[in-house]
Amino acid sequence: MFVHIPKTAGTSFRLGADSFFGKENVCRDYGEKAVETSTIVREWISSDKDGWLFARDFEKQGYQFLTGHFHAAKYISIFDASRMITFLRDPIQRIASEYNHFVRNNGYEGSFEDFFRSPQNVNRQLRLVGKNNWAEFGFIGFVDAYQDSLKLLNRKFEIDIPQLHENVAESEVVKPQQLTKDQIEELQILNAEELEFFSSARAQFDWRLRLACADESYVSGCVTHVEMGKLRGWAISEDINNAVLIQVKVDNEIIGECKANEFRPYCRARGLGRAGFIGFSFEFSREINVGSVECVVANTQQPLLNVYS
């Protein structure tokens, strides 16, 4: 499932998917009114809203790939979250690019400020992916590292989507948009949550790339709770046969280890892998500062995400 965020080179990727899977095997959801939206989306998602029947017909009709401008939450309960993918772009550059697209192709006459202050355009990438969903995604790539992203994605899912550039304004993707200092500062304030998300996702991507170069397995996972003297989370390696060994650190000091092999009904329901046996927990022997806690993969020191509040 490809969450196609506007102005993130998604058209190029979608065309590559058409080439690899066959256009007839790619299901599309670009909105109820869009002509390219597939019939089964109109029947079971837009109309009757029956996700089970949609999944049944998706398989029966031979679809192998789903793409579109949709929120991840729309399909994350129908298909495994670990099969979800997307590409991200620098939040400020992306919204500037989308504004230019609206002016050029949609006849938009408002100012740039009117456009980026509109609620639907604030933190847009984060809202499409889902604040509480993105850690579960199978893969998140980046426009400014598209070639590496595509190689990593193909390696992970054992596919061979080609790198294409048709119908993509490559110069716009590569060339930074020229903005004023005041515009940048206001955009940073409005999109603070997305900028934080983008930074965290990029750090995980950099780890994925580094580990791939070292022929090591990347680990998806996060710390979900740190409270009442106990820590909980989940982690799964791309080498699913081996449960992940986690090191727990406080103020950068290792205080213990635990294995991510506990059953988590939520993880099973989300299709995160190993039938849900990817949970871990750790009890602290002393009072600790929650903000000083970090969990890392023991053999690579890859840090897990912290998603607890």
Give the confidence band of 50 by pLDDT, cuts at 50, 70, 90.
confident
- pLDDT tens track for 187-200: 999 999 999 999 99
- pLDDT tens track for 244-275: 999 999 999 999 999 999 999 999 999 999 99
Q: Are residues 166 and 51 in the same domain?
A: yes
Q: Give pTM, 2 decimals.
A: 0.93
> Could you tell me if 293 and 226 are in contact, meaning their C-beta atoms sit under 8 angstroms apart?
yes
Residue 135 has a pLDDT of 92
Could you tell me whether strands 65-68 and 26-29 are parallel, antiparallel, or unpaired per DSSP bridges? Answer: parallel
Structure tokens at 281: 């927990």
Q: Are residues 208 and 235 in the same domain?
A: no
Last residue of a domain, one of 183, 213, 243: 213
Percentages helix, strand, coil for the chain (3-state, rounded to 5) are 45, 20, 35
The owner of tokens 């009757």 is 48
Classify each residue of 166-195 as buried b or exposed e, where b means 16 or more C-beta atoms within 10 Å of its C-beta: eebbeebbeeebebeeebeeebeebbeebb
State the burial class of residue 261 (Cβ atoms within 10 Å of its Cβ: 0-12, 13-18, 19+).
middle
The number of folded domains in the chain is 2
State the burial class of residue 43 (Cβ atoms within 10 Å of its Cβ: 0-12, 13-18, 19+).
middle
Range(s) of the domain holding residue 128? 2-213
